Structure 1
Amino acid sequence: MRCYSSTGFRLITKESLNPVLTLIGGAIMKRLIPLGSLLILLSFWTQPALCDTYVAGQVSGTWTTAGSPYVVLADVEIPAALSLTIQPGVEVKFTGQFKLIAHGPMTAVGTPTDSIRFTHHLPYPNYTWAGLFFENTVGSSELAYCVIEWGYAQGQVGQTSSKGGGVHALSAALSIHNCRFYQNKADTKGGAIFAHNITGAIHDNLITNNTCNGDGGGMFVEYTNNADIHDNVITSNSADNGGGLFLVYTGGVLSDNVINYNSATSSNGGGILLDHSSPLIQNCKINHNTASSSYGAGVYCQHFASPLLMYNEICFNNYTAIYCGDNCSPTIDNNTIHGNGSYAIRTYLSSNPFGRNNIITGNSYAFYVSSGCSIYLTYSNIQVYWSGAGNINVQPFFVNPYGDDFNLMPFSPCIDAGSPQAPLDPDGTIADMGAHYFDQNQPQGTSAITLTPFGSPIVLPPTGGTVWFGLSIMNSPLYFNLFDGWYNLQQPDGQIIPMVLRTNLYLPAGGNLSRTLSLTLSSTTMPGTYTVTAYTGEHPTVIEDFDSFTFEKSATDGLPEGPATVTLSDGEVSETFELPGTALPQATALKGNYPDPFNPTTTIAFDLAQAAPVRLAVYDLQGRQVADLVDGWRAAGSHEVTFDASGLASGLYLYVLQAGEVRSVGKMTLMK
C-alpha cells in the first residue's frame, strides 16, 4: 500500500523538483518533468495500516508509525510558524540528495527500544541524502534515540550544502542525545554534525565511521560560546584535519567523551583540533587516534587556543599527544599522557603550556620546546628529569595500560603525590597524579585460594622427582584486593619450611589469577608425607585464605647423604631451598593454634621431646568436653592436629594437652 502525506498536498514544479518518482503500474519510475509542467501530489487515506507515505515541500504535524516509512521525494521544509513531531519507530527515507529543513521546531524523540531512522531509500551504500538542516530555527528542537546514516553534505568550500552530513545546525536551539551517527559524509565541515552558534547539549551519542573531506570527521563546531558536549563515543571517524572533533572560536565544556581511533588523514588533530578555542576538556579518553602529520595526534591547539585539560587520558596516539602552536598556552592538570608515538607535549611559536599532577610516561619522547616557548610542570611523574617542584620519575603502576586501564594500583607512588595546594581528591586525601585518583576509602576485597595437585595421589620414588600443581586465586566481586601470597612446606618430621613470599599482589574487583607450579625434591630429602600450603593475606599475621595438599616420597635403603633441596617454580621464577635434617624438639610444649580467630577449622600444634602417651581435648567455658582430638601414644617430634568446629557456636574454647607428666592449656576463639 502506498499513501501520500495529509500535509503533503503539494504543487511541485521543475524549480523545486526536477527528477521525481511517479507510480506507474505499481512500480516506481524516474521521470524528468518538462519545463512548465506540474505534478500534483494528492493526499488520500485508507484504514490505519503501515504504508509508504510520500512527502515533499512543506510539512508539519505528526509523523506516525502508521504512515511509516516516510519517503522523501524532494526537499522537505518545516515552516517557521509550524512544527513537526516524529514518533518512535518511524523511518524517514530519502530517495535522492534531498534534505529536511527545519525553520520551525522539530521533535524526533524515539525510545531506547524503538528508534527513529533517517536514511536513504535504497539499500546501497553509494546512495545518499543531504541531511537534517536546522537553520535559524524558531523555538527548540530535539533529536533523541535517532539513527542518522548515509547523509552526505555535498558542495564547494563556503557553500552551506557542504557542511554537516547528518545534521547541519545554524543559529539553532537544538538538543541531540542518545543518537547514532553512522557513515555520514561532508565535503568541507562536519562529517556527522556541523554546528554554528547553537544552544543545547550534544550528549550520549555514538558517532562512528563518519568522514569529511575537510575538517571534523565526527563533529565541527564553530562560533559557539557555551558548547555542552558530553558522554559521547566519537570513534573511527576521519577527516583531513580533526578526525574526531574540530572546534573554531568555541568555548564551553567537553566532558566524559570517548574520542578514540579517529584519524586526521592529511594533517593534524587525530582526536581533537582546536582553533581559537579554549574550552574545558575533562574526563575524556583521547586514545588511539592517528594523524598524518607528526605534530598532534591527540589534541592539536592552534591560533591562541588555550584549553583547560583536566583528568583526561591522552594515550597511545600515533604521534604527539598535545601540540601547542601559535600562542597556545593550555592548562594541563591531572592528565595521564602515556604511550604516544612521538612527544607528550610539543610547543611552537610563543606557546607556554603549564600544569600539575600529571603522569607523563612511556612516550617516545617527553617534550619538544621550541625557541621562545616553555613547558612548566610541577608535581608530575615525568619519564625524564624535569625541573619543577614535586616532580618525580618512577614507574606509575597502572592496573593494565595495554588494556587501556590507567587506574592506579594501590601501591602506586603517584598516590598522594600531587600538589598540596590542589583540591583534595574525593576521598579527602591529597591529590593523586594522573587522570584517575585512587579511592583510599573503598573497602578491600578478600581472596579465595585453591591448590590442585595433578595426578593425585602423588608418590615420588626414593630418587625424588617433581610434583605439579595448579594455583588459582579469586578476588571478591565488589572491591580490589592488595595482598601477600606465600608458600610453606611441611616435612615428614613436622618441620615447616617457608619457601616463597610474594608481597603487594593486586587483583581488581572480581579479578583472578592462575598458575601452574612445580615442586622438585632431590633424592636426599627424607621419606614420608609432605604438605604444601599456600596462603593469602598480610604476611605473616593475617590469613585471608589458605589451601594445602599432601604427597609422599618413598623410603630409600640407608640414610640419604648430602644436602636435601627442593625447587619451587611458577613458570617465571624458580627458587631452590635447602631443607634441614630431622630435628627433635628440645622440650614438650603446646605451641598454639593457627589461625586464631578461626572459622570453622584451626590447627593445633605441639612438640614432644620424647615418645609419650598423649591426650588432646577441647572444652567449652563450662568445662564440658566438646572434642577429643588425640588419645594414644605418639612418637617424639612435632605434631599438628586439625580441629573442626562446624557444629559449635561462636565463642572461646580451651584445648588441653596431657603428654606424659606435662600438662598445657591453650585458648582459641571461634568466630562465625
Structure 2
Amino acid sequence: MKNATKILFIQLIIYISSVAMTFESGEISGTWTTYDSPYYITDSVYIPGNDSLVIEPGCSIIFLGNYKFIVDSNAVLKAIGTEADSIYFTSMDTSVGHHGMRFIYPAAGCTLEYCRIEFGKASGDSFWDSYGGGIFLFFGNLVINHCLITHNEANAEGGGIYSLSSNLTLLNSEICNNKTIMFSHITGAGGGLFINDYYENYSEIYGNYFHNNYSEVGGGIVCSGANVEICKNRFINNYALLEHTEGFGGAIYILDSNPIVDGNVIAYNYASCGAGIGILSVNYSSSLFFNNLIYNNEADSCGGGLWISCECCSSIIMNNTINHNSAVTGGGIYAEGGRDIIIINTVFSDNEAQYGSEIYVGSNMWSPFNIFLSHNNIDSALCYAELSSCLFVWAYGNFTSIPVFSDSLLHLDDISPCIDAGACSVYVSFWDSTIYAPSYDIDSFPRPYGDNWDVGAYEWHEGNIDRNYKPPSKSFIFACPNPFNSSCVIFVETQNLASPIDIAIYDLRGNVIYELSPLSSNSFLPEEKGESFPLLGERETQRVRGQFTWTPDKSIASGIYLVRATTQDGHTITKRIVYLK
C-alpha cells in the first residue's frame, strides 16, 4: 500500500512539473509562447518604453486580481492569434476582474487579432482608473481585428473600449455584454465603445457585431468630437437607460462628431431618446447616413429610429430603410435644432408613435431650419412640426405606398413600388448644391440595377442572388496622414490589375473640388504581404495599390472632403479625409 501511494505521489509530481505555468508582474517584454502558457498575472504588468512584446497564438493570460496590462509610451504589443487558436485575456475571479489593457502613448504597430478580452473592470476615482473596462487607448494607434470583447465594465466611459485622441481601427469583431455604470455623478457612456477626440484623428469601425451592451448614454457606441466611419456593422439589442432621467442613443450616440454611418443593421435597440441613433450637436459638424436598416427599435420617449438635436449639425439621410420603430413622439425620426436635415431615397414604413409616426419636429430651441424630402416612401400626414419655425420642404418624387418587402430582412419584393423610384442625385435649392446618392447598396451591390435608383437600403435584383457575394474588383481607399494640413497621400487598393480608376474629391454638398486623370494599371504595384486586413470570409489574394498626392489649393477651406474612386466595372468606393489648415 505504501509503495502504491509513493508511486502515485511521484506520478503527480511528474504531471505538475510537465504542466507549464508562468507567473508575471512588473516589467515584461520579448515573446510569450504557447509552451509557457498560461501566464498568471500576479500584479500590474507593463511593456516599458521603446520595447515590445509578442504573444503567440493559443496563449492564455489569466489575471489573479484587478491588475493592469500597460503598454507604455512608445512600446509595442502584438497579440496575434489565429481563428483556430485565439489568445485569451481573462480573470481567475470574474467578480474582481482585471483592470484592462491600457495603451498609453503606444508606438505604431500595436495589434490585437483573434483575441478574447473579458471580465475587465475599470473602477476608481481617477480618469486613468475608471475609463475603458476592456481596452483603454490614449493618444496612439491600435488595430483590433477578429476579436471578442465581452463582459467588461467601466465606472465612467467605454465599458468595452475607450479611445481618446487616437486612431482606432476596429474590424470584424464582436462587442457584447459590456456596460458602464454611473459613478460619483459621472454618467456612464459608451457601453461597447467610446471614441473621444478633438477632430484631430480618424477611427474606422467596420464589420463588427455590437449586441447586448448597456450604458446610460450610447449603449453600443458613443462618438464625441470624432471623425469616424461606422460601416457594415450590426447593432442588436443594445440599451441606453438612465435611472433618473433620459438615456440617449440605444445603438449609437453621436456628440459634435463627423460620422459616416453606412451599411449598418440597427435593430431591437432601446433608449428613452434615439433608440437606434441619437445625435446632439452644439458645434459645427455633419452626419452622413447611407444604406442603413433601422428597424424594430423602441424609445419610451422620442425618436424610435433617430433622435436629432442639432444647433450646428447638418444631417444627410439617403437610401435608408426606417421600419417599425416606436416612440411616444417621432416613431421614425424626432428632430429639433437649427440645422437642415436632408432626406432622400428613404423608406418610412410601419413606424408607430402617438404623435408624428414618421417624423416629429419638437420645440425649436435655436434658429429655424428645413427638413428637405425627395424621392422617399413616406406619408406626409404622419409628419408633424410643433412650431412653424421648422419647414417641411416636400420636393419632387415623394410617394405614399406599402413598400412590399419580400422577407424579414426588408429586401424589396419584385412588385415593390420602391423599385426605380429613387434618384441618382437631387438638387437642394437652399444649399444651392446637388446631393448624390450612393452607388452601392447595403450589401455593396452596385446601384442602379434597373433604370433608376431604388428607394431604401437594398437595391432590388432580378432572380435569386447570393447576398454574401462580394464584387471581385472590391477596392479600398487609404489616406495618410488623415487629418492633414498641407498634403495627403491617397492610396487606392484593388484586386483588378487592368481597370483604370477615376478619382474625384468632393465637398459634403457634392461639389467637385478636384479631379484626377484615371489611375491606370501602370500606377499599381503588388502589395507586400501583410499590409492589408482581409474582411471576414474573404480569401487572401494578391492585391495591388496605386497612389497620388493631393495638395489643396490655398482657396480650399478646412473641412471634411470625400475621395471617390470609380472602377471601370462601376464599383465605387468613398473615403472621408479631413483637411485642417
TM exceeds 0.5? yes
C-alpha displacement of 1:360: 0.9
Q: Does 1:355 align with 2:343?
A: yes
Q: 1:272 to 1:428 in 2, by over 3 A?
A: same
Query: Matched residues in 1 for 2:34 and 2:104: separation?
Result: 27
Q: Does 1:91 align with 2:60?
A: yes
1:188 alignment partner, one of 140, 156, 159:
156
Contact 1:227 1:252 (8 Å CA) reproduced: yes
2:264 corresponds in structure 1 to 284
1:147 corresponds in structure 2 to 116
Query: Matched residues in 2 for 1:109 and 1:51: separation?
Result: 21
2:431 corresponds in structure 1 to none
- 1:426-473 deviation per Cα after TM superposition (whole angstroms, max 9, x unaligned): 536411000111124xx459xxxxxxxxxxxxxxxxxxxxxxxxxxxx
Q: How does 1:616-631 map to 2 (within 5 A)?
A: none
Q: Does 1:384 align with 2:391?
A: no
- 1:141-179 deviation per Cα after TM superposition (whole angstroms, max 9, x unaligned): 0000001000011123x5111111110011112100100
Q: 1:159 to 1:252 in 2, by over 3 A?
A: closer
Query: Matched residues in 2 for 1:185 and 1:426: separation?
Result: 44
Q: Which amino acid aligns with 1:70?
A: Y
Q: How does 1:177-216 map to 2 (within 5 A)?
A: 177-213=145-181, 214-216=188-190
Query: Matched residues in 1 for 2:228 and 2:173: separation?
Result: 18
Query: Matched residues in 2 for 1:428 and 1:289: separation?
Result: 34
For the pair shown, the structure with the greater C-alpha radius of gyration is 1
Query: Matched residues in 1 for 2:342 and 2:108: separation?
Result: 42
1:116 corresponds in structure 2 to 87
Q: Does 1:431 align with 2:453?
A: yes
Contact 1:362 1:383 (8 Å CA) reproduced: no
2:423 corresponds in structure 1 to 419
Contact 2:102 2:136 (8 Å CA) reproduced: yes
1:394 corresponds in structure 2 to 401
2:370 corresponds in structure 1 to 374
Q: Does 1:226 align with 2:230?
A: no
C-alpha displacement of 1:348: 1.5
- 1:337-360 deviation per Cα after TM superposition (whole angstroms, max 9, x unaligned): 111112211111314211200001
Structure 2 counterpart SS, 1:66: coil
Query: Matched residues in 2 for 1:478 and 1:226: separation?
Result: 28
C-alpha displacement of 1:200: 4.4
Q: Which amino acid aligns with 2:321?
A: T
Contact 1:270 1:289 (8 Å CA) reproduced: yes
Q: 1:97 to 1:478 in 2, by over 3 A?
A: closer
* Percent identity of paired positions between Structure 1 and Structure 2: 31
1:628 corresponds in structure 2 to none
2:294 corresponds in structure 1 to 314
TM-score (norm 2): 0.65
C-alpha displacement of 1:198: 1.9
TM-score (norm 1): 0.56
Query: Matched residues in 2 for 1:335 and 1:477: separation?
Result: 18
2:45 corresponds in structure 1 to 76
- 1:174-200 deviation per Cα after TM superposition (whole angstroms, max 9, x unaligned): 100100011000011101000112224
Query: Matched residues in 1 for 2:113 and 2:451: separation?
Result: 40
Structure 1 counterpart SS, 2:96: coil
Query: Matched residues in 2 for 1:260 and 1:444: separation?
Result: 27
Contact 2:403 2:417 (8 Å CA) reproduced: yes
Q: Does 1:247 align with 2:223?
A: yes
Contact 1:181 1:208 (8 Å CA) reproduced: yes
C-alpha displacement of 1:383: 3.3
Question: Which range is displaced more, 359-368 or 370-379?
Answer: 370-379
C-alpha displacement of 1:299: 0.8
Question: Quick check: which one's strand share is greater?
Answer: 1
Query: Matched residues in 2 for 1:255 and 1:138: separation?
Result: 26
Query: Matched residues in 2 for 1:477 and 1:351: separation?
Result: 37
Query: Matched residues in 2 for 1:219 and 1:65: separation?
Result: 30
Query: Matched residues in 1 for 2:403 and 2:343: separation?
Result: 18
C-alpha displacement of 1:138: 2.0
1:340 corresponds in structure 2 to 325
Q: Which amino acid aligns with 2:119?
A: W
Segments of 5+ residues of structure 1 without an aligned counterpart are: 1-45, 446-475, 480-672
C-alpha displacement of 1:139: 2.9
1:270 corresponds in structure 2 to 250
Segments of 5+ residues of structure 2 without an aligned counterpart are: 1-14, 182-187, 384-393, 426-435, 440-446, 470-581
- 1:72-119 deviation per Cα after TM superposition (whole angstroms, max 9, x unaligned): 011100011210000011000111110110121000011001100000
- 1:533-557 deviation per Cα after TM superposition (whole angstroms, max 9, x unaligned): xxxxxxxxxxxxxxxxxxxxxxxxx
Q: 1:478 to 1:262 in 2, by over 3 A?
A: closer
Q: How does 1:41-80 map to 2 (within 5 A)?
A: 49-80=18-49
Supply the RMSD in Å over aligned alpha carbons: 2.3
